[in-house]
Amino acid sequence: MWTTIALALTVLFIIFYKAALRPPCFPPGPFALPIVGSIFSILPSPKESFSRFQKKYGPICSYKVFDNWSIIVNDPALMKPLLADPVFSGRKHLYLFSLRDEVISGEKMPLGILGTSGDVWKNQRRFTLRSLKDLGFGRNSIEPIMQKELEDLINTFSQTEGQKVDVGLTFNSSIINVIWAMVIGKRFSHEDVRLLELVDKVNKMLQSFNPFHPAYRFPIIKKFFPNLDVYKSQDTYMRQLLSFIEDETAQYEKELLADESSFSYIRAYLKEMKEAETEGKETPLNMHHLKANIFELFLAGSETTASTLWWAVYLLASNPDVQKTIQKELDEVIGEDKLPTLAHMDSLPYTTAAIYEVQRVADLVPFAVPHETTEDATVSGYRIPKGTTVMFNLSHGLKDPKYWKYPDRFYPEHFLTEEGKPYKPENFMPFGSGKRVCLGESLARLELFLFFATLVHRFSWKLSDDPIVWEKSIVLSRPPRFMVEISNRNSNAVF
Ligand SMILES: *[C@@H]1O[C@H](CO)[C@@H](O)[C@H](O)[C@H]1NC(C)=O
Ligand SMILES: *[C@@H]1O[C@H](CO)[C@@H](O)[C@H](O)[C@H]1NC(C)=O
Ligand SMILES: CC(=O)N[C@H]1CO[C@H](CO)[C@@H](O)[C@@H]1O
């Protein structure tokens, strides 16, 4: 009897000991239990917990999510070389991506760019960057597309004078239209119900996704309980979104043959794919990757920019002095009868600094998307085995009091030199950095500038005295819900 108990206790001890045991020379961090890992040290409020870890364990620490070790890197000086290192640029097949890939192809093979590593990632990313560049990413050929969207927005907003408005994601359809124009070569009317529904779904999908949920970590649970709520909503939205993309692509494939003059990402992709097929050449391009890439352009390109503009309105409305200073600069440089154009980008230092400051305060994607080591590696004397999940806390460089005079305020002067020129410190990486830097960075910059400058030049934004409500979201940081009063200024200005 005593022997049995002693034996059982020994076995238990070994199980707990093994679970808590870090790999040799691994970064320090919170305690880990069998099965659940450090999850109880992280939940219920990951934000506060990680802040505590950072204080206790330093710029690089480790924790265990269920049965897998992860590390998180905080110091931008440490982060930059790692983000540039191919060994730290791998990616795990994350739940949302594997769900998508199975819906698209019926197989587990990783598709697209965001969720892939190695050659698949390199090939799809290279093609996509090249063709988007040809389409005017980072150039002024998308300016008329954005101006068309802005004219619509101006119409919408000028009709709300005297009312309290929840700006919310009003920008979502405009931003989606810009992406859609490049991807597929057409725009939706703002009344198009399908578009609004789609936006709503993507939104709900991101909002309801909690990467720490065990259901997403252990695929086996899904085998036995496929109808759990946590799966159902993601599954439904994913399928609907993909079937929308599929319908549009199919229709476009037909139109493509008819219209030689049209110009879009899908067209470029199909063209290169078909040419390779006719010539009997090997090509990394195929329909499955195409659908996955469209999904990503759409997801990564719309939500983020629309939310940043939403933050911008919140910050402008709650900082009337900053708003006035921007308006003064715009009136002086552009004139009261003109709206801004991309050509003004380099002659508006304060406005430029204010946009950087919006991105800093918004801190939209605090941890980027998790990376994974593709080989064993060494960082500041720690050994990081192949296959370790690596999180980069981009938030650190944007928010830590080490780097900013007023980390919690909206203070555009953070980004101005003493001579009043805009400048970006090294630790400011709202789009990430290195090998996995955001593919849409140049488009996003142009959009943020033109939408921001136009809306501040054309309207004044005032926070109403209604309550401001903060909502919780784990993946993307959202501005609060608030009501704003919009008044016309420079009503006669045109592009
Ligand atoms: C990221 O950095 C910020 C600022 O230093 C800190 O408050 C936060 O807790 C860090 N997050 C993680 C996950 O370490
Ligand atoms: C966790 O680690 C095991 C091996 O230790 C691996 O087989 C599994 O794929 C990993 N799970 C995740 C979600 O990374
Ligand atoms: C989810 C969400 O807020 N969608 C909004 C997108 O923008 C349109 C207006 O352009 C709103 O009507 C939707 O509610």
pLDDT tens-digit readout, 168-190:
768 888 888 888 888 887 777 66
Mean pLDDT of the chain: 87
Ligand 2-lining residues (CB < 6 angstroms): 67-68, 92, 217
pLDDT on residue 37 = 79
Any atom of ligand 3 within 6 Å of the Cβ of 222: no
Q: Average the pLDDT over each of 36-40, 163-167, 258-262, 409-413 and give the range with the smallest value.
A: 258-262
Q: How far is the CA of 169 from the centre of ligand 3 (A)?
A: 5
Q: CB within 8 A of 68, min separation 6: which ones? A: 37, 389
Q: How far is the CA of 169 from the centre of ligand 2 (A)?
A: 37
pLDDT on residue 345 = 92
Segment 132-160 shows an average pLDDT of 85
Atom of ligand 3 nearest to the CA of 174: 10
pLDDT bucket at 430, cuts 50 / 70 / 90: very high
Segment 230-254 shows an average pLDDT of 82
pLDDT on residue 333 = 97
Q: Which region holds residue 420: left if phi is over 0, alpha if psi is between -120 and 50, else beta?
A: left
Segment 410-435 shows an average pLDDT of 95
Binding residues for heme, as ranges, are 438
pLDDT bucket at 343, cuts 50 / 70 / 90: very high
Segment 149-162 shows an average pLDDT of 91
Segment 426-452 shows an average pLDDT of 93
d(CA 242, CA 152): 28
pLDDT on residue 258 = 67
Q: Which ligand is located closest to the Cα atom of residue 202?
A: 3
pLDDT tens, position by position, 345-360: 999 999 999 999 999 9
pLDDT on residue 140 = 63
**Are the CB atoms for 314 and 482 separated by under 8 Å?**
yes
Please say if the pLDDT value at position 474 is more than 70: no
Complete domains list, the chain, with CATH: 67-488 (1.10.630.10)
Please say if the pLDDT value at position 405 is more than 80: yes
**Which single residue is written with the structure tokens 């990413």?**
137
d(CA 356, CA 70): 30
Between β-strands 68-73 and 389-392, what pairing exists: parallel, antiparallel or unpaired? parallel
Q: Average the pLDDT over each of 94-108, 205-219, 380-394 and give the range with the smallest value.
A: 205-219
pTM metric for this prediction: 0.90
